[in-house]
Structure 1
Amino acid sequence: MTLKWEVKSLRDVCEKASSNVSQNQLANETGKHPIFGAGGFIKNVSFYHQDKEYVAIIKDGAGIGRLSLLPAYSSVIGTLQYLVPKDVLDIRYFFYYLSSIDFNKYKNGSTIPHIYFRDYSVEPILVLPLAEQKRIVAVLDEAFDAIAKVKENADKNLTNARELFELYSTSIFTNCGSKWMERTFSEVCEIASVLVDPRIEEYLNLKHVGGANIVSKTGELINLKTSKEEGLISGKFLFDSTMVLYSKIRPYLMKVAQPTFKGLCSADIYPLSPKAGILDRKFLFHLLMSAKFTEYANTGSARAGMPKINRDHLFAYRFMCPPLLTQKEIASKLDVLRRNTDELESVYKQKIADLEELKKSILQKAFSGEHVGANS
């Protein structure tokens, strides 16, 4: 039996509608009807705009093209748009079809990107008999449910790997030995660097490290450029491979690095020099990355505009400091565990990325007509 099917444009098989509701209008609203924004459910309100299931698409902002299948008797705010299929389409078939489209190719604007229905409404859609649409939906539901379960396990494993490292790190810094001594930061490290002019010839080809160049919670340095390449003009700290770099902005981000080269760093980064014979550099790195120190840094960095830890608060930090040899042993163990954790994270992140690609591949095949042959 040959299926009756045809290809139509999106604009021929759905209705679009806009919302003029802004989130700040909802403060005093109460009711039983959900309203949604780009981040999902906002609250229940007294009104609704759609009386049957629909697809909402983000039309403005960083998340343009992201889709949600939303319930009847609900609404969205103005950054989203309603897409309601006509009777020739099953709602879930319609949602899956839209999920196969790359809406980024219709992006306009750079400051606040947006997409227009008039542009993407030319997308072709394969219109099959409703029974066949439902069959395809059932197949996709089953496949995506299986993918979701695998992804959930990968997410859990990723979380567990991180928590294991944090738990071990915390235990090391709290289970003190008999020879550990209470110290303040000012006793064990210092900022010996002074600000230099990055326009001076001897500094032009040195790499510059700003907060954005340090990956949160990993210590990785990325996208480094020289002073000359960045066209730096304001004063920068000179650092070398004996120091640890600590970003004082938003300390909860835990941006700490151990550079292996001589360079310049932003004035918003502290180039910390451990005192010889007292503090091991690698131990200092792990201490700055510890949960206990981060909690301390956060409590002393409350600022309305930008959380920031000042020098006085930093150097007043008190901690139990082990002998130098013990510091080296602890740092070595944490280095190994961090490497193993990073490797596990890389595996799980790649697995999650592969699952997302698998979903895209399944959708592309489902709506490229490949499924028709099996039933024709």
Structure 2
Amino acid sequence: MTSAWEVRTLAEACEIKPAKSEVRQRLTDSDLVSFVPMEDLRIDQKFVSANQTRELSDVVGSYTYFADGDVLLAKITPCFENGKLGIARNLENGVGFGSSEYIVFRPESRLEPQWLYYYLSRDSFRAEGEARMGGAVGHKRVAKEFIENYPIPIPAPHEQRRIVAILDEAFAGITTAKANTEKTLRHAQDLVSGLTEGLFPQDGHSPGKHSLAELCESIVDCEHKTAPTQEEGIPSIRTPNIGRGVLLLDGVNRVSEATYKEWTRRAEPKPGDLILAREAPAGNVAVIPKGMRVCLGQRTVLLRPRRSVFESAYLAHLLLQRNSQKRLLAHSRGATVQHVNVKDIRDFKVASVPSLTEQKAVMEQVQQLADQENRLTELYTRKLAALDELKQSLLQRAFSGQL
């Protein structure tokens, strides 16, 4: 920051939370105004998407007021930390209302709204604000005093506009580069998915003669009630814990030894067994790894393949293939959430079953493709992170007078 730049607090440089009374002076209750819920305040989008309108009387009581040119900042977790922020423009009748979790800044005449937007976009601002949040877990809000007393450098308006123009051009290029990188990554993932799909039998119009009930030692439904949980203990696998071939144990519920015994009376899950999600998301299936004890949570099914017929990982990946998923979910029920019945799982037909030797060879190729996909994902993820770091570096230079 240069010595010629003035430094003021946000409360000095902006009117924070403009009064609703000014709306009453020029609009009637039946006049339309823009309505911007929290989901329409985006991340990395400079201008607010004001796609909805309401009558003034419907929103003036309990929603937050703002006008064209105001800057909106989400104050509640996780929206604040994620950077939900934008400038209001093209509002109906120049007026908008939205979430009570917005902080509204109205810059004074010497402060450009876009300068303020970029200043509040810095990771360092969000990190400092996060450290000053208060309230209950899940409902923390950035402190009012932190916002009001936060310093902002204010160069001359023409200098603000010059630097904003540089940032606009640079950020547009970064946005394009990120979009191209993400597109390339999706194409690479689609290619790997297609190659993996080609390793498995394609059932076409003839799904096969043998059902899963014939090819498995047992297929056991879960208990249709919620297991009592505790902080430590044995993982209870619910549908969110079932990925594509693997268990996802972050945030998994856990149960006591007594609960485990009660919930595994029908069958005790063993390493090599498959757990299939019957809904949300229906069709996902994972293999229980060696050395792990788990019990079934709600809306799951245990499949124990015949060891003389199937490699567990092969069956899991076979069920995850596009054609298999399409047939498995063809009879799913539920208007909003797909739900697969145990009977349909038992009756599911398998097109062909290669020898165990062939299955092992296929899974070696699947693993090689997965390793390649992981390497590509890591490479492109690093590129995306580097682009984000470049944005923050440009912001740091902008507000220290180096652009």
Shorter-chain TM-score category? 0.7 to 0.9
In the alignment, is the contact (CA less than 8 A) between 2:132 and 2:142 conserved in 1?
yes
| Aligned-partner Cα distance in 1 for 2:394–2:372 | 33
Residue identity matched to 1:15: E
Match of 1:96 in 2: 118
Candidates 357, 365, 369, aligned match of 1:337: 369
Partner of 2:178: 151
Which range moved further: 291-300 or 241-250? 291-300
Q: CA deviation at 1:185?
A: 1.3
Find the aligned partners of 1:32 and 1:67 in 2 and give their Cα distance.
24
Any idea what SS the aligned residue of 1:104 has?
helix
Partner of 1:107: 133
Other structure's SS at 2:275 match? strand
1:264 aligns with 2:290: no
Helix, strand or coil for the counterpart of 1:125?
A: strand
What amino acid is the match of 2:389? E
Q: C-alpha displacement at 1:56, in angstroms?
A: 1.5
Matches within 5 A, 1:1-376: 4-17=4-17, 34-40=34-40, 41=49, 43-45=51-53, 50-60=66-76, 62-64=78-80, 66-74=84-92, 75-78=96-99, 79-100=101-122, 101-102=125-126, 103-109=129-135, 110-173=137-200, 175=202, 181-191=208-218, 208=235, 210-211=237-238, 214=241, 216-217=243-244, 219=246, 221-223=248-250, 233=259, 235-237=262-264, 238-252=268-282, 254-268=284-298, 269-303=300-334, 307-324=338-355, 325-367=357-399, 369-371=400-402
Using the alignment, how far apart are the partners of 2:132 and 2:239 within structure 1?
A: 29
Instruction: Compute the displacement of 1:124 (Å).
Output: 0.6
Q: Deviations over 1:221-242 (max 9, x none)?
A: 44488968x7873534433333
Counterpart Cα distance in 2 of 1:11 and 1:164? 53
CA 1:216–1:114 in structure 2 vs 1: closer, same or farther (change >3 Å)?
farther
Q: Structure 1 residues 306 and 89 mapped into 2: Cα distance closer, same or farther (>3 Å)?
A: same
Q: Aligned equivalents of 2:165 and 2:360: distance in 1? A: 58
Identity %, equivalent residues: 21
The structural deviation recorded for 1:114 is 2.6
Residue 200 of structure 1 corresponds to which residue in structure 2? none
Alignment partners' CA distance in 1, 2:328 and 2:207:
22
1:47, distance to aligned residue in structure 2 (A): 5.9
| Structure 1 unaligned blocks of 5 or more | 21-29, 197-204
Equivalent-residue separation in structure 2 for 1:172 and 1:127 (angstroms): 62
Q: Distance in 2 between matches of 1:278 and 1:88?
A: 76
How far apart are 1:336 and its partner, in Å?
1.9
Deviation of 1:136 after TM superposition, in Å, equals 1.6
Checking the alignment, whether the CA contact within 8 Å between 1:213 and 1:223 is kept in structure 2 is no
Maintained 8 Å contact 1:251/1:298: no
TM-score (norm 1): 0.78
Q: What is the alpha-carbon distance in structure 2 between the residues aligned to residue 226 and residue 251 of structure 1?
A: 18
Q: Which runs of 5+ in 2 are unaligned?
A: 21-29, 41-48, 57-64, 224-231
Partner of 1:335: helix, strand, or coil?
A: helix
Residue in 1 aligned with 2:23?
A: none
Aligned partners of 1:35, 1:194: CA distance in 2, in Å?
47
The CA deviation string for residues 86-125 of structure 1, in whole angstroms up to 9 with x for no partner, is: 1111121110011121132232221423335443221110
**Displacement, 1:157?**
1.9
User: Are the counterparts in 1 of residues 271 and 289 from structure 2 also a CA contact under 8 Å?
Assistant: yes
* TM-score, normalised with respect to structure 2: 0.73
Report deviation, 1:339.
2.1
